[in-house]
Amino acid sequence: MKKSKTSFFCRNCGYESPKWMGKCPACNEWNAFIEEEASGLPGDSRYAALQSNEIPLSIDAIEADEKERIETKVLELDRVLGGGIVEGSAILVGGDPGIGKSTLLLQMLQKLAEQGRNVLYVSGEESARQIKLRGLRIGAGSKNLLILVETALDNILQHLQKVSPDVAVIDSVQTVYSSSLGSAPGSVGQVRETAGRLILFAKKTGISIFLVGHVTKDGAIAGPKVLEHMVDTVLYFEGDSGHAYRIVRGIKNRFGPSNEIGVFEMRDSGLTEVGNPSAFFLSDRPDSASGSAVVPSMEGTRPILVEIQALVSPSTLGMPRRTSIGVDSNRVSLLVAVLDRICGLHLGSHDIFLNVAGGIRVDEPAVDLGIVAAMASSFLNRPIFPGTVVFGEVGLTGEVRGIAQMLLRIREATRMGFTRCILPRALSQEISDSSGMELCRVGNLGELLENLF
C-alpha cells in the first residue's frame, strides 16, 4: 500500500508546513504544530463535495428579502442575531464547558418546534436518553423536535437531506468526522472539512445550521481560526460558575450588528432571559460607598449601566499590586499615571484593585472616566454624589474626549432613576437638560474632581 503523506498544521490558524516548527509564521503561536495527513491534490475526489457548481448571476436578478428571518421567540437571542435567524446561515457557538450552550440551543429548538417548524438536534457527545432527560428539565418535548445521535458526516448530511429541517444544531463540530480523511475527529483537517461541507450544504438548501465549538484553555474556539471566517455569525458564551448570569456576545455577524449581547440567568429550568440588564447588574450596589462609580456602557446597540469598584490602599510591598477584573489592565495603568501626573493624586505607592461588579467585561474607552472617578473616590475616601453616572474617554494630557451615542446612555440612566450625569464637553452641546437629568460637562480631569463630590 502507498504510504500516505503527512504534513504539520497549526492548531490555531491552520497553516501547513512540511516540517515541524516551534513558532507559526502566520499567527506567531508557539508549540501549535501537529502532524496530520496532508490534503490531497485539487483534483482529489474529496473536493467534489465542496463544489457549488453555480453560474454567475446579475445582482439585480437575485431575489432576497432582509425581513425573511426565523424568529426564535427567545428575545435576547434574536437581539444578538440581528432580529432572528437568516435562512441558510451558518452560526458558530462557543463557550466554556457546562456554561449552557446545549441548554440554550435546545430551548431555542423547542420554541421553533412550538411554532410548527421542523428542527433537528444532532449530538455527537450525548446519548438520546441524556438529551431527553435535559429536555424534561427545561420543558422541551415537542414532536417537531427531532434528535439524532451521529458523528459520521456523510450520515448527518443524508439525514439533513431527508428530514429537511428549518434549523439544525450540530453539537459539536469537533466530534464530527469525514471518512475521506484518515485523521482523528477534532483535528485541524477534520474540523475544516466537516465545517466546510456543512456550511456549503446550508447555503445550497437554505437550512440554517448552528455549529457548537469547543474552546481552548485561553477561551478561543478550538480548531483553525479559519473556521470563524467561514461561518456567518460567531456567538460566544461568557460567564462563570460564581455568577448566575450568562452573556451571549456576537463577535461576528454578517446580518446584523456585531458585539451585541444577550443576558440570561441560569436557573433549574434552564436559561431565563434578563429583560433589564442594568437593574440586574446594579441590584446589590451599596449606597454612599467610596470607590464606586456607575458607567453607562454600550454593548452593541444597547446601553447597560455597570458599576465599577476601586480599592486604593497604601502598600507594604516594594512593588505595589495592580489587579483589574473586567477592564483592560494596561488601560488602568495608563489612567493611574495620568491621575498622578495631572491631578496630583500620588498613587505610585498604593495597591490598586479594580473590579466591574457582576463579572461583566467592558472594553470601550467610554469607561475611562468611570475608572478615574472610582479610583479618586477610593483614594480620597469620599463617596460620589448619589444618583450620578459618569462616562467619557481620558487622554494622556488629562483631557476628557467625546464619545459616541451619548443621548442613548443618558436616556438609560434616566430610566434607571439617576439624576446627575458627568459627561464630556466635546460633542455634547446639542444635548439639552430637558430630559430631567442634570448634565455636568467637563473638559479635563480637574473639572471632573470638582464636580464629583
Binding-site annotation: residue ranges for ATP: 95-102
Euclidean distance between CA atoms 416 and 437, whole angstroms = 11
Known binding residues are 95-102
Chain centroid offset of residue 110 CA: 23
Sign of CA dihedral 116, 117, 118, 121: negative
CB burial readout 38-73, b (16+ within 10 A) else e: ebeeeeeeeeebeeeeeeeeeeeeeeeeeeebbebe
Nearest residue to 161 (alpha-carbon basis) of 115, 206, 127, 227: 206
| Amino acid at position 327, single letter | V
| Amino acid at position 418, single letter | F
Which helix (H) or strand (E) segment holds residue 340: the answer is none
CB-based contact 104:110 (threshold 8 Å): no
Give 437: exposed, middle or buried? Use CB within 10 Å, 0-12, 13-18, 19+: buried
Euclidean distance between CA atoms 28 and 32, whole angstroms = 9
Sheet holding 388-390, edge to edge: 322-325, 350-356, 302-314, 292-299, 388-390, 420-424, 438-442
Angle (deg, nearest 10), helices 128-138 and 101-114: 70
Question: Cis peptide leading into 172, omega within 30 of 0?
Answer: yes
| Amino acid at position 264, single letter | F
Instruction: Mention every residue, 6+ apart, whose C-beta is less than 8 A from residue 39.
Output: 7, 16, 189
Euclidean distance between CA atoms 252 and 259, whole angstroms = 7
Sheet holding 261-267, edge to edge: 145-149, 119-123, 167-171, 208-213, 90-94, 233-238, 245-253, 261-267, 270-273
At residue 175, what are phi and psi to the nearest 5 degrees?
-95, -10
